[in-house]
């Protein structure tokens, strides 16, 4: 009989990556076209939350932190996500103006890594995205004191109920003054494809002055 309480043998856990390869000749002309192509393939393959990315920041003291956010924009300017400007992540971004994100497409044995400086997106872009959000998500953005300590779950539910009453007769809920988008303007974008025997393919677009260079990295 199998002991369901037995500890997992972590050192023995491994997967042989043999789904594909990544060659220089296959890369798109620009990092953002390549990133969009891989995201489209991940979404087309049915991966849940294909636009999910792990955002890494450090505060003014150098203390690191990471969390998952959703990518809501990709173009030549950078990668965009939206959040509360009073959150811990936003405070760290305001302190250092630096960030990195990783898209972990485990099922396809791929990941993409973006790092660079950050800036807030324009109010016009924020408004456009805000209008695409479900009403419930808009109300939640008004109600949640993100990253701050709350007494319990009831406190959040009461805050939401208060906001629902506040906007009960409002058809178009306005963007909260404490909410908006951040854009990561890349200095480097790496594409990683798992390969057999841990000799992975790692190709990087790196900005050198005003020119993007493509480099292969050791596995």
**Catalytic residue positions?**
198
- Count the Cβ atoms, other than its own, within 10 Å of residue 133: 16
User: Quick check: helix, strand or coil at residue 173?
Assistant: coil
In angstroms, rounded to a whole number, what is the distance separating the alpha carbons of residues 116 and 16?
Answer: 31
Q: Return phi, psi of residue 198, to 5°.
A: 65, 20
Structure tokens at 85: 């400007």
User: Quick check: helix, strand or coil at residue 143?
Assistant: helix
Q: Are 89 and 149 in contact (CB under 8 A)?
A: no
Structure tokens at 166: 């506040």
The DSSP symbol for 122 reads P
User: Distance of alpha carbon 181 from its chain centroid, rounded?
Assistant: 12
């Amino acid at each position: 009989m199998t002991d369901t309480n037995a500890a997992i043998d972590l050192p023995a856990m491994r997967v042989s990556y043999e789904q594909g390869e990544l060659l220089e000749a296959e890369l798109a002309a620009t990092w953002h076209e390549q990133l969009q192509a891989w995201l489209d393939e991940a979404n087309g393959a049915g991966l849940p939350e294909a636009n999910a990315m792990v955002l890494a920041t450090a505060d003014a003291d150098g203390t690191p932190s990471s969390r998952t956010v959703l990518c809501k924009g990709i173009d030549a300017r950078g990668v965009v996500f939206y959040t509360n400007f009073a959150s811990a992540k936003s405070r760290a971004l305001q302190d250092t103006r630096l960030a990195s994100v990783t898209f972990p497409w485990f099922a396809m044995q791929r990941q993409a890594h973006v790092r660079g400086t950050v800036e807030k997106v324009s109010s016009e872009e924020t408004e456009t995205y805000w209008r695409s959000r479900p009403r419930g998500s808009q109300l939640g953005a008004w109600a949640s004191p993100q990253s701050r300590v709350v007494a319990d779950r009831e406190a959040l539910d009461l805050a939401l109920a208060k906001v629902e009453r506040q906007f009960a007769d409002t058809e178009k809920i306005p963007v909260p003054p404490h909410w908006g988008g951040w854009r990561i303007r890349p200095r480097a974008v790496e594409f990683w494809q798992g390969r057999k025997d841990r000799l992975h393919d790692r190709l990087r677009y790196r900005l050198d002055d005003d020119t993007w260079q493509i480099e292969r990295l050791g596995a």
